[in-house]
Each structure stands twice: as C-alpha cells, then as structure tokens.
Amino acid sequence: MNKNLEAKQEAALRKILSEVPETSTYTPVTDSLSRATELGEDKIAGVLNGFSSMPQSTTVFANPALHKAAVDCGGTQITLNIRSFAIRGIVSESEIVADKLSPAFVIFAGLFGRRPGTDDSELDEETLLSNLIDKKFYEFITTRRESLTGEQRLVNQVAEFAKAFPEAGPEAAIQHFSTLRKLSIPNQKGINGTRDPDSLLLELIETHMENVAVGTVSAYMRHQLRENPALHPQVLAMRATDLITEYQKSEKTAFQTCYSLLLGREASTVEANILERMGIIQIHHGSAGSNVVARYLATLHTGAVSDFFVAAQMALDGDRHFGAIHDMTAFINQIEPLDTAAREEAIRERMQSALPTFGHPEIAAAGRADEIQQDPRPAIYFNPFLEAIDNGDIQLNDSQKKRLTIIQRIYQLAFVEGFVRPGREDEPPLRLTPNTDFGGWGVQEGLDIYESDRTLLTYIFRGFGWMMDAREQLPLKIIRPVIPPHPDVIPTPTDDMTIANEVVALHNRMASTNAFDG
C-alpha cells in the first residue's frame, strides 16, 4: 500500500474513533418536577422528587410497538402489535432487511451516532471501520502470549484448550483466555472517563475481536475433534490457521470467516447471508441484561477491558436471556423421544410455567385479548432460511426436520391455539408469541450448528452493542435506561410494511402443516 495513503487512512480512522455521540438532553422527570413546583403541586413534586435521581434516557436504542398486522389463529383474528427496532433513530430493522446493510454500516451508526460517509480526504468511513475490525480479527493467528507452559501462539493455546476440554462451549474458551490476557498485560488502563475516546474504542475492538477469534476457532476445533478425537493440538492449530489465512487472502471479512468457523466448514453464500442478517439484528438489544451489565461495568470504571466483555457475556448466557436457546435445546432433547400424544402433553405442561423462547418479561408478549405484542426478530431470522429450503439451497436431514417440526408444533400450541390455565376455563385462551430466541434456535438447528455454540453468533455481534453502551456511560452515567428513550431515537410510523409482511409470512408458514418440507 502507498505509504502516503496508509498515513491518510490511519489519520482518518483516528479522527473517527475519537468521535463521541452527543449525550441525551431529554429529562422528563426533572422538567416535570420544575413544572409541578411552579404550579404549587407539592404532592406531585414530592413524588417526582423521589425519581429525580433516575438516569436520563438513552440515545442508543429504541424498540416501541410500531407496526400492526392481523393474523388468523384457528378462525380467531389476532392483531399483532409488532415491536420496532432502531439504533440511534437512524438505522431501522426494515432498512437492514430491505437494503442489506453491512455489519460495519450498522456498527458505525451505533458507535458514532451518524451514518458512515466519506471524510474530507474522500476515504470511505464504512470501509475504514470494516478494515479495522478485520485487521484485529486476523491478528489472532500471529498473536503470541504467555501461557501456563510459556509463550506461544494464541491459536496453539486454543488448540490445547480444545483438546483438553472438547465439550467446553466457546464461552468457556473466551473466559479462560480473557483471564490469561488480563494477567499477561501489565498496567492496563481499562475503561474510565479519563481515557481518550479513540484509544479506548480501539482497545474495545481489539479485545472483542480477539475474543471472537478465540470463540469461533475453539468451535471449529471441536468440529474437527468430533470427526477425529485423536487429532493432535498442532494439527488443530494448523487447520484453523490455514482456513483463516485462506479467507484473509480471499479478502473475506472477519464475520464471513466466523460463519465458516462456526459451521465447521465453508459457509455457502446463502448460509453466510442468513447468519449475517441474524447477527446484524442482534447488535443491540436496548435494556437486555447483558447491556445493563456492560453499562454498569463501564460506569464502575472497570480495571480491565477483558472483564467488561466477560461479565456482559455471562449475563448473555443467563437462562432468562439468550441462554433460553440452551433451555429450548434441553427441552427438545427431553421430548423428542416421546410419542406424539406424550410430547404434546409435555409441551402443554411446560406452557403452564415457563416455555423456552416464548413470551417476554418486559413486553406484553402474552395475553388473552385480541391484541398481543410480537417481537419481529424470529421472522427476520427465519424467512431467509425458509426461502433457502424452498429454493433447494439448504437440505434438511430427517433429524432436523423432526426437531424443527416439534418447534413448529410448539408455536401452534402456544400461539395459534393458546392454552387454558386451571380455573380459567371460561376465559379466552392465553397466547404466547415467540421471542428472538425462537428464531435463533430454529435457524441454527437447521444449519446444523452444535447445540453448545448457539449463543456465539449473538456474542459476536452483541459485543459492538456493549461498546455503544460503554461509550454512552463515559460522559453521562445512565447505567440502565429507565426513562423512555430520547424522542429523537424513537422510530416514527411509516407506510413501510417490510417488517409486518415478514411477521405475517412466518406466522402463515408456522400455522400451516409441514413448514419445513420446502
């Protein structure tokens, strides 16, 4: 590369990384308190005063119910109030789906509060950020670090870990090597408000992409070991290095390389597109538990960036969070051997308590009325996968068809038919709508991703959402957005039916027979 151009790119990148989005000026509690005091409403002012220490609202994310769609549930018309999704009010899920925005485009908008463009020297900002992410990922194969047995390449250390713990999930590998990284790098600056925004963001990206490489490479190595448990760690390291080097030479993005590592083989274009859409939509999730942890650790001025990602990841894998995917796996494994009658009885019994991947603790995703809220993400994930089946681009084996048919029947029992709790037989049935985990589980089952690896894709992309949260905490400590988001980031109603059509299409497919036969 021309040295002059390289210097210009480096300067442009540093300038971009130093940008911090403006903080929220939306303070409805404070404003209402002032107005109540002005009006002499002492009781109201007294109540509001108890909330005066609540944080201001976030400018990162908003997901109000924005769209409506009517669907048929066995002859009953149900109106779905479909939640919307927007990062900083400038990138919506409908745009991601319709225009096929790249991961770097969406990440850029979330990190910097504006759409990428060209800088004064006409360098493309989206490409600059994408190249940085790729560079930090591909550095993995040459990185050397101290281990328990001395300094060696990190890829070799991951191979030894995978060989010693072949059943360990990718989160275990990430957490193990995060600890070693923390111990081997002296005088870490961590996350605090005195750091230059560019150096902090650069370290966040470096740390996360190394974690992503550790997780995906460990997943790939476990694929290799399942095929041949006798493989030596040196061979595992060599195979992973060869694959990554080949993809780097072919100018594949870091994310494209991750899809193949996750699958344990080269991902087809169709498979990569399915995984990429699912990943991009999961970049940020507002008030989700992992994001709350990320905000809290940034506010605490965490001493090591590694700890920031590990703690958020642990929350991500909680049973009431994306660990629900693991919960669904356990439930399917439990009921799969049963005959049809016993299986349906087990499903109905589970619906009486907590049905994995259905409902939501914070939105009205369950109800007996003719309106109910719906998370659009299962449809956004599922539809390209179903299209690929119809086109013959993906073929399911008999086991996959059986297991996917089981979750289709769960959908029908939970939402289309609904269920009645004891003592409430005179009331309409309670219906549960599926959440993001339903789509995540189903698509990854159909792509034959190992059960223990099914939260890794979320981790890969959600890490950038955590970075957005961390940067928002530096000038203004919000921790958890308890006040509605700033009005500027709330999507406004439009005539765009992209997402509503996606939701209805999936419902019609799931309510039919043999949804996965193609």
Q: 496 exposed, middle or buried (CB, 10 Å; 0-12, 13-18, 19+)?
A: middle
- Please, which residues have CB within 8 angstroms of residue 474's CB and are 6 or more apart in sequence? 20, 193, 197, 200, 298
Q: How far apart are the first and last CA of the chain?
A: 48
Alpha helices, DSSP H, located in 185-288: 197-227, 233-249, 254-263, 269-281
Q: What is the pLDDT of residue 170?
A: 96
Q: What is the pLDDT of residue 121?
A: 63
In the block, tokens 């050397």 appear at 144
- Give me 243's structure tokens: 């694959």
Q: What is the pLDDT of residue 321?
A: 65
Cα–Cα distance between 125 and 403 in angstroms, integer? 43
Q: What is the pLDDT of residue 1?
A: 56
Q: 385 exposed, middle or buried (CB, 10 Å; 0-12, 13-18, 19+)?
A: buried
- Count Cβ atoms below 10 Å from residue 463 Cβ, excluding itself: 25
Taking the chain (518 residues) in consecutive chunks of 10 residues, what is each chunk's mean pLDDT? 75 88 82 89 85 74 89 95 90 89 96 86 89 98 89 96 96 95 87 90 97 98 97 98 98 98 97 97 82 89 93 83 85 97 95 88 81 94 97 96 97 94 84 94 97 94 95 81 78 87 97 88
- Strand 144-147 relative to strand 371-374: parallel, antiparallel, unpaired? unpaired
Q: What is the pLDDT of residue 320?
A: 63
Are the C-beta atoms of residues 271 and 447 closer than 8 Å to each other? Answer: yes
Geometric angle at alpha carbon 48, from 43 and 54, rounded to 5°: 165
- Give me 225's structure tokens: 């070991």
- Give me 23's structure tokens: 């903080």
The model's pTM = 0.92
Long-range CB pairs of 204-207, under 8 A, 24+ apart, other chains included: 204/305, 204/308, 204/467, 204/470, 205/132, 205/133, 205/136, 205/467, 206/136, 207/181, 207/305, 207/306, 207/309
Q: What is the pLDDT of residue 487?
A: 86
Cα–Cα distance between 48 and 30 in angstroms, integer? 8
Cα–Cα distance between 108 and 13 in angstroms, integer? 12
